[in-house]
Amino acid sequence: MTLRTPLCDLLGIDLPIVQSGMNRIAGPELVAQVCEAGGLGILAALALPPETVREQIRKVRTLTKRPFGVNLWLIEPGTGAPDVEVLRGAQKQLDVFRGRLGAPAKSAAPTVAPLNIRENIEVILEERVPVFSTALGDPGDEIVSRCHSQGVKVISMVASVEEAAQVERSGVDAVVAQGFEAGGHRSSWTGAEPVGLFALVPRVVDAVKVPVIASGGIGDGRGLAAALALGAQGVLLGTRFLATKESAAPEFWKKAVLAGRESSLTKVLSGLPARAMRNAFVREYEASGAPVLPPFVQRAAAQDVYDAATARGDAELAALYAGQSAGLIHDLPGAGDVVRALAAEAEAALRRAMSWQGSR
Ligand SMILES: Cc1cc2nc3c(=O)[nH]c(=O)nc-3n(C[C@H](O)[C@H](O)[C@H](O)COP(=O)(O)O)c2cc1C
């Protein structure tokens, strides 16, 4: 049996397994291990300075000769000062957490760091990265054709059928369909209602001609087998790769994944809907009724809380993005071992599914 799909030929990989570019987690070592095992590793470049993105791309190239990707969000923070009352209410609740961490109270509007989207796209083009992975936006036909002229493939993550059709019209090479189960931020820019992966994948497969990659809630090879059966040509996993040796996530975050902590969609961590574990920060912020600042501003306001919590190893007040697949993950292997195990488990699951036919 082979798991090879046309997506593998398109991206130049052996197995239809993609590791998500995860902000502050997916660095060159993680990416290279996934690529060496035959999958596609994706470097997280969100908000990194362009010179750091270039350095990391070059570092990946010293570690592997195989194709890899670089991920960027395409959504820009809004401009203008936040509403005074909203700022006061948000800082008041954040001060409760600061007090617990021994950090000073704050009242000023935070500075939102630039995302460097345009500059980082130029780096991706100049470095002729094999795959540009996008989230939270349509790259548009101009960027896509510039990528294609440099030999860069584009894969775009969407959360609805309409968004999939939109990026296909822009000329992307493959679409990542992100289900409700997915850890991290929802990759929707149209405010689409969340849809579970089992309904979303076949709907997107029916709507577009380009290969579809399933993402969200896949923690082992059974999920890969199911995604292929639904018509996807590959899978993209985040939470599973967060809990690996090469992931840059702090130990307490990896342990929270292994403990299978419950997660939910919330805006309180960044101002944008994201799936994260329901620790004290999420539970208490939501229960307080405190207002939430606009996208990116909320994250910038709370960043000192996350940093102080992380420095103390405090899982209750850090931002613990993770998906529903957390309950399926019980070990902390190397990322290459994850890729190999996913493939072996998927083959076994497909064989098992076929052998049930007529077995009564
Ligand atoms: C900790 C974490 C960080 C993430 N960061 C990014 C990111 O920077 N860019 C991106 O496109 N997706 C990001 N994602 C979302 C993934 O691309 C993907 O949709 C999700 O992880 C799939 O669900 P799973 O976590 O159940 O595998 C992140 C996910 C997690 C769990």
Nearest atom in ligand 1 to the alpha carbon of residue 322 is 31
- pLDDT at position 182 is 98
- pLDDT at position 358 is 57
User: What digits encode the pLDDT tens for the residues 154-170?
Assistant: 999 999 999 999 999 99
CA 360 – ligand 1 centroid, Å = 41
Is the pTM above the cut of 0.85? yes
For residue 306, which of 252, 227, 356 has the smallest C-alpha distance?
A: 252
The DSSP call for residue 326 is: G
User: What digits encode the pLDDT tens for the residues 90-117?
Assistant: 999 999 999 999 999 999 999 999 999 9
Strand partners, 245: none
Sheet order of strands, 274-277 included:
184-185, 274-277, 263-266
CA 184 – ligand 1 centroid, Å = 5
CA 128 – ligand 1 centroid, Å = 24
Name the pairing type of β-strands 263-266 and 274-277.
antiparallel
* Residue 342 to residue 24: CA distance in whole angstroms: 24
Q: With a 6 A CB cut-off, is 182 part of the ligand 1 pocket?
A: yes
- pLDDT at position 78 is 87
